Amino acid sequence: DGGITQSPKYLFRKEGQNVTLSCEQNLNHDAMYWYRQDPGQGLRLIYYSQIVNDFQKGDIAEGYSVSREKKESFPLTVTSAQKNPTAFYLCASRTGTNTEAFFGQGTRLTVV
């Protein structure tokens, strides 16, 4: 079945460590997105990519990095520079600019 897979579902890390969240899609979508969700703040865009080897910063890119080496994959690294990394992270993809996005089930990151 086609879809978006985020792994792991829960992730725990110590403060100061970098951590990479996985996002894989087999929908043949060109565009992929990473969002951060905190209670009461909705979804805030971290990074997005329209094509392979290209990506743009969203509204809260500081402390995060991404790569898009393959169409199917858009991993997000939460670096030690991110001051408050504990949150729920959602990955999404879509075929083009005016189509709906499909979401993964999310990764809950807790930094202790």
Partner 1 sequence: AQSVTQPDIHITVSEGASLELRCNYSYGATPYLFWYVQSPGQGLQLLLKYFSGDTLVQGIKGFEAEFKRSQSSFNLRKPSVHWSDAAEYFCAGPDMMFSGGYNKLIFGAGTRLAVHP
Which residues of the chain form contacts with partner 1 (CB under 8 A)?
4, 31, 33, 35, 40-43, 45, 48, 50, 56, 58-59, 88, 90, 92, 94, 97-98, 100-106, 108
DSSP code of residue 9: S
End-to-end CA gap in the chain: 36
Q: Which is nearer to partner 1, 5 or 17 (CB)?
A: 5
How is residue 80 written in tokens? 């030690």
State how far the Cα of 56 lies from the Cα of 77, in Å rounded to an integer. 15
CB of residue 15 vs partner 1: minimum separation in angstroms?
24
CB of residue 47 vs partner 1: minimum separation in angstroms?
11
Can you name the residues that pair with 76 across neighbouring β-strands? 21, 66
CB of residue 5 vs partner 1: minimum separation in angstroms?
11
